[in-house]
């Protein structure tokens, strides 16, 4: 149980275009999902917390107008990188919080490698 999928697994796009990444909880409902980003040789860094039916909460330094998050259902959250630039090239990974105690368990998707040319 507690499987999270992510699509696409990798994407190459041109500078200035937008890219949408999907995160799905396959066998449970997730009211809260998280989006992380990892640059080479760095740790996974939380970008934003996505709450079903409400606005996402962004971490300091993450532009909400550039990284649009939509959590329209209990099993799907999307991250759209708008007007992507080469510096947005990174590894993006989502996680979903399993409902119920202990209230902090997260299960991760396999991640999306974004390359902006």
Residue numbers at the binding site for other proteins (CB under 8 A): 3-4, 9, 34, 36, 41-46, 49, 95, 102-111
Distance of alpha carbon 104 from alpha carbon 39, whole angstroms: 24
Distance of alpha carbon 58 from alpha carbon 2, whole angstroms: 25
Residue closer to other proteins (CB basis): 34 or 92: 34
Residue closer to other proteins (CB basis): 28 or 108: 108
Q: Smallest distance from the beta carbon of 109 to other proteins, in angstroms?
A: 6
- Residue 66: C-alpha distances to residues 19, 22, 29, 87 (Å): 11, 16, 27, 12
Q: Parallel, antiparallel, or unpaired: how do β-strands 10-13 and 112-116 relate?
A: parallel
Residue closer to other proteins (CB basis): 3 or 72: 3
Q: Smallest distance from the beta carbon of 13 to other proteins, in angstroms?
A: 20
Q: Smallest distance from the beta carbon of 16 to other proteins, in angstroms?
A: 28
Residue closer to other proteins (CB basis): 25 or 78: 25
Q: Smallest distance from the beta carbon of 34 to other proteins, in angstroms?
A: 8
Structure tokens at 9: 């697994």
Give the CA count within 13 Å in the CB-facing half-sphere of 56. Answer: 26
């Amino acid at each position: 149980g507690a499987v999270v999928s992510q699509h696409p697994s990798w994407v190459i796009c041109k500078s200035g275009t937008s890219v949408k990444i999907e995160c799905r909880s396959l066998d449970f409902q997730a009211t809260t999902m998280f989006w992380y980003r990892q640059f080479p040789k760095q740790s996974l860094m939380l970008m934003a917390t996505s709450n079903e039916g409400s606005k996402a909460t962004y971490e300091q330094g993450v532009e909400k107008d550039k990284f649009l998050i939509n959590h329209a259902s209990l099993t799907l959250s999307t991250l759209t990188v708008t007007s992507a630039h080469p510096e947005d090239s990174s590894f993006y990974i989502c996680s979903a919080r399993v409902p119920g105690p202990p209230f902090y368990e997260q299960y991760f998707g396999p991640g999306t490698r974004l390359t902006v040319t």
